[in-house]
């Protein structure tokens, strides 16, 4: 079955960097667009970044543009999110999500918590 | 940017009753709308896409309807496992996807 397992979260000081990973299994990873979606504590869902199946392009939400970079390694079935210049408002659970035709999310990981605090 | 709103914010329902959740888009998304269920401490789960198509494994008591700017998720005969937060999401304006703020369905 489809499995998405995020890792790399933790507590980080404002202004620092962090890299999240998402290991995919149970499907042909290289055929799907992949997203990072986040959820601040007690809040709703916000899409962060998307990368097409072949890594040919990337798109970012306004709140992270210029600070975050999404990438993928199709040979190792892994999705990444490199986060720089972290702010308190980046504190959230970060989910990786498989996207059907890059439109809606048909599978989600369990999430990894990023806490930005001094 | 398409802004999604949901109402009510909280819906109190007794087990066995039906629940009707609303989602509105600030401009037409045709039928490019999905619904998700999220339970505490869990990731969201896809329920409905294309406004009315149930995702794989979703029980028939979940149904979606609507088009354009007005959408409804109906849960008939609520079971204990249905008490959760429900989000709508538009995908008409890709990649500028947007979610609604959610409706919490709790036990009356």
pLDDT of residue B70: 98
Q: How many CB atoms lie within 10 A of CB B63?
A: 16
Q: Give the integer Cα–Cα distance in Å for B102 and B89.
A: 10
Nearest to B46 among A44, A95, A105 (CB): A105
User: What integer pLDDT is reported at residue B72 of this predicted model?
Assistant: 98
Residue whose token pair is 């998405």: A4
Residue pair A3/A96 in contact (Cβ under 8 Å)? The answer is no
Can you give the pLDDT at residue B24?
Answer: 98
Interface list for chain A against chain B, based on CB atoms closer than 8 Å: 44-47, 50, 59, 95, 100, 102-111
B 20-39: CB under 8 A from A:
32, 34, 36
B55 Cα to chain A: minimum distance (Å): 8
Considering only CB atoms, B95 lies closest to which of A46, A59, A104, namely A59
Q: What is the CA B38 to chain-centroid distance, rounded?
A: 10
User: How do residues A22-58 score in pLDDT, each as one tens digit?
Assistant: 999 999 999 999 999 999 999 999 999 999 999 999 9
Band (pLDDT 50/70/90 cuts) for residue B27 is: very high
Q: How far apart are CA B70 and CA B10, in angstroms?
A: 18
Best of A52, A105, A109 to disrupt the B interface by mutation (most B CBs within 10 Å)? A105
Confidence of residue A102 (pLDDT cuts 50, 70, 90): confident
Q: What is the mean pLDDT of chain A?
A: 96
Residue A47 forms beta bridges with which residues? Answer: A37
pLDDT of residue B95: 83
A68: β partners: A83
Helix (H, G, I), strand (E, B) or coil at A30: helix
DSSP states of B66-84 as a string? EETTEEEEEE-S--GGG-S
Interchain contact, A104 vs B45, CB within 8 Å: no
pLDDT at B53 over 90: yes
pLDDT at residue A26, as a whole number: 97
| Rounded-to-integer distance, Cα A62 and Cα A88, Å | 16
Tokens of B49: 């896409």
**Cβ atoms within 10 A of the Cβ of A5, count?**
14
- The pLDDT, as a whole number, for residue A103 is 87
Q: Kindly determine whether residue A44 and residue B32, on different chains, have CB atoms separated by under 8 Å.
A: no
Count of Cβ atoms closer than 10 Å to residue B21 Cβ: 23
State the smallest CA–CA distance between residue B14 and chain A in angstroms.
24
Mean pLDDT for the stretch of residues A3-18: 97
Chain position carrying tokens 């890792």: A7
Range A58-89 burial, b when 16+ CB lie within 10 A, else e: ebbbeebeeebbbebeeeebbbbbebeebeee
Q: In the predicted model, is pLDDT for residue A101 greater than 90? A: no
C-alpha closest to that of A66 among A86, A38, A91? A86
* Cβ-nearest to B49 among A45, A50, A104: A104
- Eight-state DSSP code of residue B55: P
Which residue in A has a C-alpha nearest to residue B33's C-alpha?
A104
Mean pLDDT computed over A77-85: 98
CB B88 within 8 A of CB B97: no
Q: What is the reported pLDDT for A100?
A: 80
């Amino acid at each position: 079955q489809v499995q998405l397992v995020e890792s790399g979260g933790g507590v980080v000081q404002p202004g620092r960097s962090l890299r999240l990973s998402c290991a995919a299994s149970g499907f042909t990873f290289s055929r799907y667009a992949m997203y990072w979606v986040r959820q601040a504590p007690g809040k709703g869902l916000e899409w962060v970044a998307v990368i097409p199946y072949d890594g040919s392009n990337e798109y970012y939400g306004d709140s992270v543009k210029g600070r975050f970079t999404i990438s993928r390694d199709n040979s190792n079935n892994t999705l990444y999110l490199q986060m720089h210049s972290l702010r308190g408002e980046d504190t959230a659970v970060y989910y990786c999500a498989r996207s059907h035709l890059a439109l809606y999310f048909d599978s989600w990981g369990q999430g990894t918590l990023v806490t930005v605090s001094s | 940017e398409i802004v999604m709103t949901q109402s009510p914010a909280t819906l109190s329902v007794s087990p066995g009753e039906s629940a009707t959740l609303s989602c509105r888009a600030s401009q037409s998304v045709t039928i490019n709308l999905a619904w998700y269920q999220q339970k505490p401490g869990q990731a969201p789960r896809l329920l409905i896409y294309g406004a009315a198509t149930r995702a794989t494994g979703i029980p028939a008591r979940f149904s979606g309807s609507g088009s354009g700017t007005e959408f409804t998720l109906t849960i008939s005969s609520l079971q204990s496992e249905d008490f959760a937060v429900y989000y709508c999401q538009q995908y008409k304006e890709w990649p500028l996807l947007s979610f609604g703020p959610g409706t919490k369905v709790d036990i009356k």
